[in-house]
């Protein structure tokens, strides 16, 4: 019998044997390449490994599942179009290790749940559909047909379609995502939460309101023309390594770079170009011209100081700072925004930033002196209570400069998952637009639901309250990616059925509903054959380029189905009155793309254009300086709130971040090389002065307790490491720390968990 109730949903609190090293002075270079090849060859073998790397991000190869950073439109070098972490991502997928029915018969679910995420991941690719019966201790093999029948029966026995939740992670292709949302809406609900809810939702909310499009406005080429790039709350050396080449181009063309981050992230500070082996030896290139080591969540305060300094200068010398022509013609709300700046004094804002005024003045000068400005950001801005404020304040800064909708300027939210942006474009959203629903209704002759669905946090709360009873995950690792781990575990255990469409074993298969299914699917790197022959899929990168991706490896098991085929199987078994011929659509993905073209703007001649070299750009109104889609018809200035976190004596703010050796919840290895930590994930980075105040020494073992609205959550056993980080700020890794993130601690408007703004106290472990 399963002892699920006693199984912890968090990774085990085991230490793995830490080793501290010097922090490297530059990113990429030979070490990165050696590390990449090592991961690929160990996991896949040499021949398979070379085949893989050769096809990665090449025009007719497969899209790297690592991140959403775009490929150059023209030139593609063999080495440069993958990076160390992209190579690790594909090695993880193309591994020789298999999780077969035999594996499941020899390991109980409870036994597997005791393993670390690293060990779970290393067990390998899932080869067959598996079922866990109520009360059973082991998964058993099930046929695809039986699995689909079971899903259909469970879904149809619900009191309402809104009792089912359909999650999507961001690797799902356009074709699979489109079919999935169609199935879900024909079933009758908009409960389509996705990983974006935990990721760039705040960017989407802030940008749609101010600029009329939830996506960024720049293209890769803009980096060649920017005078100034500001990188805020992002660690590209680890998470988007190919972005460093773009920043390096900015520098080559005389542009400057400001970095705003509580940590001196190695990649951003100095970089060795993998494209240029001559430069691997030697010092590397200093990328950052000005590093502002801001306090966690000090960004709105920082931006407000910059804007106040600009305003002062403008008052001294009218028309010298603000772009009044642009403001006049294209924007709304400028006066109210400018007036609001007077509600703050620099003296009260400054302590929130942890910075000195002269360095902020330097940044302001760079901003005033340059007109083509790009601002890039990622999770350091989007995962705070005032995250939407962060994004809107970034937009304010660009708008006063007129730095949007022209070459070398604009917004650059750097997306995470390789197709997270495409999934949204395909309709994976709990709040679909009316025009889209109408287009679906017309094309497929059904009544689409209008009620907004649950996002990730609301979905967890609904399952916890037993208002939702079936959970289906299209990829991802819900239990480990979501906040408040033990609460979320209770929510999932309340379900009558949990289903995961997955490539690899993960913790979400082990913390399950009364009944659970694992449906194994093809990965990006694998060939996809359907009735009409070999298929490719398409994806959209962070800059709105839609292009094809086709795998070249033979599938790791003959029993795998593609994601579109799995959706079609579930839909056919569930929907009795659908007018959609699901198996026909899946027989040739061109048929799915025809339907996308018929219902989503920007996909004209989809099948033809997706076959063009490099794909095609989707329309982008902000890029075209057309702000009509906003509620005022213009680009909107907004009034935003600095952080309202007031730390009590002994409290710290904690950000939960990624190591260099993980992909979200997938742990490739136990090192965080760029931060000088090897072989350990349970670490807490702290300012050495703060350590002194608490009487802590390097490598002391501590427990972390988070405090939120009178509730407490604890994560035990972290090793303290003195680090260059502002006072009262601390950092540790996710998913180990997710247990500390309270389910209700989310961003205003976007409802994104505030995983970078957790209030904690620290105590020696007893
Ligand atoms: N190798 C690899 N690549 C990945 C991923 C991965 O896990 N591994 N994940 C993918 C996904 S889904 C995403 S969303 C992206 C994530 O990419 P990132 O957002 O770069 O990832 P995080 O590790 O969360 O890093 C957040 C950064 O923000 C800083 N930061 C934290 N709080 C603040 C703050 O309040 N203000 C400022 N200014 N900075 C702050 C942190 O110090 C850190 O440098 O990467 C994608 N690419
Ligand atoms: N505390 C804290 N929590 C966070 C974050 C944070 O910074 N701090 N970041 C958040 C962010 S930005 C994100 S995007 C989410 C990520 O949340 P998710 O997207 O849910 O998590 P991943 O770890 O990316 O999912 C990995 C799993 O996806 C499956 N998989 C991999 N490739 C494929 C595929 O091609 N098809 C299918 N069907 N499955 C596949 C594998 O089984 C693997 O175990 O986590 C969020 N959670
Ligand atoms: Mo993400």
Per residue in 277-317, pLDDT tens?
Answer: 555 555 667 899 999 999 999 999 999 999 999 999 999 99
Any atom of ligand 2 within 6 Å of the Cβ of 665: yes
What is the pLDDT confidence band of residue 3, given thresholds at 50, 70 and 90?
A: very low
- No. of helices (H) and no. of strands (E), the chain: 30, 33
Least trusted range by pLDDT, from 9-13, 33-37, 756-760: 33-37
Q: Give the pLDDT score at 279.
A: 54
What is the pLDDT confidence band of residue 70, given thresholds at 50, 70 and 90?
A: confident
Q: Choose the residue to mutate in 97, 477, 566, 741 for probing ligand 2, maximizing ligand atoms within 8 Å of C-beta.
A: 477
Q: Give the pLDDT score at 5.
A: 60
Any atom of ligand 2 within 6 Å of the Cβ of 10: no
Domains of the chain plus CATH, in order, are 201-413 (3.40.228.10)
Q: Which two tokens stand for residue 579?
A: 């007018």
Question: By C-alpha distance, which of 383, 363, 252 is closest to 750?
Answer: 383
Query: Ligand 3 centre from 456 Cα, in Å?
Result: 13
Q: Give the pLDDT score at 278.
A: 52
What is the pLDDT confidence band of residue 59, given thresholds at 50, 70 and 90?
A: low
Q: Is the pTM of this model over 0.85?
A: yes
- Tell whether the model's pLDDT for residue 79 goes beyond 70: no
The secondary structure of 258-299 as a DSSP string is EEE-SS--HHHHEEE-TT-GGGSSS--EE--SEEE-PPTT-H
Across the chain, what does the average pLDDT equal?
A: 93
Give the span between the Cα atoms of 448 and 451, in whole angstroms: 9
Least trusted range by pLDDT, from 22-36, 100-114, 147-161: 22-36
Q: Choose the residue to mutate in 233, 475, 662 for probing ligand 1, maximizing ligand atoms within 8 Å of C-beta.
A: 233
SS3 497: strand
Question: By C-alpha distance, which of 224, 277, 213 is closest to 254?
Answer: 224
Least trusted range by pLDDT, from 27-41, 197-211, 547-561: 27-41
Angle of helix 201-211 versus helix 387-400 axis, rounded to 10: 40
- Tell whether the model's pLDDT for residue 540 goes beyond 60: yes
Any atom of ligand 2 within 6 Å of the Cβ of 761: no
Give the residue-averaged pLDDT of 580-592: 98
- Tell whether the model's pLDDT for residue 2 goes beyond 50: no
Any atom of ligand 2 within 6 Å of the Cβ of 239: no
φ and ψ at residue 428, rounded to 5 degrees: -75, 90
Give the span between the Cα atoms of 506 and 739, in whole angstroms: 17
Per residue in 666-700, pLDDT tens?
Answer: 999 999 999 999 999 999 999 999 999 999 999 99
Share of the chain above pLDDT 70, in %: 94
What is the pLDDT confidence band of residue 1, given thresholds at 50, 70 and 90?
A: very low
Any atom of ligand 2 within 6 Å of the Cβ of 738: yes
The secondary structure of 444-496 as a DSSP string is HTS----S----HHHHHHHHHTTS--EEEEESS-HHHHSSSHHHHHHHHHT-S
Per residue in 337-361, pLDDT tens?
Answer: 999 999 999 999 999 999 999 999 9
Per residue in 27-40, pLDDT tens?
Answer: 766 677 777 777 77
Q: Give the pLDDT score at 43.
A: 78
């Amino acid at each position: 019998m399963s002892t699920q109730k006693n199984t912890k949903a968090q990774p085990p609190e085991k230490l793995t044997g830490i080793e501290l090293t010097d922090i490297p002075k530059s990113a990429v270079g030979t070490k990165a390449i050696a590390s990449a090849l090592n991961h690929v060859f160990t996991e896949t073998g040499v021949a398979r490994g070379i085949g893989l790397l050769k096809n990665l991000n090449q025009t007719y190869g497969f899209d790297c599942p690592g991140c959403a950073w775009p490929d150059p439109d023209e030139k593609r070098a063999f080495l440069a179009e993958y990076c160390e972490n992209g190579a690790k991502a594909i090695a993880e997928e193309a591994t020789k290790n298999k999780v077969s029915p035999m594996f499941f018969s020899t390991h109980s679910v409870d036994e597997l749940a005791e393993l670390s995420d690293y060990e779970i991941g290393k067990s390998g690719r899932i080869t067959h559909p598996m079922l866990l019966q109520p009360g059973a201790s082991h998964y058993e093999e099930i046929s695809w047909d039986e699995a689909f029948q079971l899903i259909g029966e469970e879904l149809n026995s619900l009191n309402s379609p809104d009792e089912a939740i359909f999650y999507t992670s961001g690797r799902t292709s356009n074709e699979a995502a489109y079919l999935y949302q169609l199935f879900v809406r024909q079933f009758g609900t908009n409960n389509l939460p996705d990983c974006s809810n935990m990721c760039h939702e705040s960017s989407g909310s802030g940008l749609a309101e101010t600029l009329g499009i939830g996506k960024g406005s720049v293209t890769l080429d803009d980096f060649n023309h920017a005078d100034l790039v500001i990188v805020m709350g992002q660690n590209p050396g680890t998470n988007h390594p190919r972005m460093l080449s773009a920043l390096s181009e900015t520098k080559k063309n005389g542009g400057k770079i400001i970095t705003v981050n509580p940590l001196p992230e190695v990649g951003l500070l100095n970089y060795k170009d993998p494209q240029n082996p001559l430069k691997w030896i030697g010092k590397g290139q200093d990328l950052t011209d000005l590093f502002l080591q801001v306090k966690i969540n000090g960004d709105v305060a920082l931006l407000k100081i910059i804007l106040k300094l600009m305003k002062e200068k403008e008052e001294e010398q009218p028309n010298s700072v603000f772009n009044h022509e642009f403001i006049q013609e294209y924007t709304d709300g400028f006066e109210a925004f400018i007036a609001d700046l007077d509600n703050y004094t620099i003296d009260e804002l400054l302590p929130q930033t942890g910075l000195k005024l002269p360095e902020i003045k330097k940044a302001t000068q760079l901003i005033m002196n340059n007109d083509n400005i790009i601002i890039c950001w990622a999770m350091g801005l989007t995962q705070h209570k005032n995250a939407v404020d962060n994004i809107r304040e970034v937009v304010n800064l660009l708008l006063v400069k007129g730095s949007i909708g022209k070459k070398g300027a604009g917004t650059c939210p750097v997306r995470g998952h390789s197709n997270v942006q495409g999934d949204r474009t395909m309709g994976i959203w709990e709040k679909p637009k009316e025009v889209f629903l109408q287009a679906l209704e017309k094309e497929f002759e059904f009544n689409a639901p209008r009620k907004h669905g649950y996002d990730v946090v609301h979905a967890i709360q609904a399952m916890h309250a037993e208002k939702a009873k079936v959970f289906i995950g299209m990829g991802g690792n819900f239990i480990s990616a979501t906040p408040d781990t033990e609460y979320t575990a209770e929510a999932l255990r309340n379900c009558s059925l949990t289903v995961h469409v997955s490539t690899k074993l993960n913790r979400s298969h082990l913390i399950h509903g009364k009944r659970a299914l694992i449906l194994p699917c093809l990965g990006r790197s694998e060939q996809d054959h359907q009735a009409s022959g070999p298929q490719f899929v398409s994806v959209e990168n962070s800059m709105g380029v839609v292009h094809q991706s086709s795998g070249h490896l033979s599938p790791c098991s003959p029993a795998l189905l593609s994601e579109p085929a799995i959706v079609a199987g579930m839909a056919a078994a569930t929907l009795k009155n659908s007018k959609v011929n699901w198996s026909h659509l899946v027989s040739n993905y061109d048929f799915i793309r025809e339907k996308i073209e018929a219902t989503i703007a920007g996909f004209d001649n989809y099948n033809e254009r997706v076959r063009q070299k490099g794909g095609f750009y989707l329309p982008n109104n902000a890029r075209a300086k057309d702000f009509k889609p906003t509620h005022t018809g213009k680009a909107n200035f907004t009034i935003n709130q600095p952080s309202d976190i007031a730390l009590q004596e002994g409290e710290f703010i904690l950000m939960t971040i990624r190591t260099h050796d993980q992909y979200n919840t997938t742990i490739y290895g136990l090192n965080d090389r760029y931060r000088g930590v090897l072989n350990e994930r349970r670490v807490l980075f702290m300012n050495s002065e703060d350590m002194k105040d608490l009487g802590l020494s390097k490598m002391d073992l501590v427990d972390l307790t988070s405090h939120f609205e009178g509730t407490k959550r604890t994560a035990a056993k972290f090793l303290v490491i003195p680090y260059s980080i502002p006072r009262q700020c601390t950092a540790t890794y996710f998913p180990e720390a997710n247990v500390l993130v309270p389910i209700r601690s989310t961003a205003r408007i976007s409802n994104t968990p505030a995983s970078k703004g957790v209030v904690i106290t620290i105590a020696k472990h007893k």
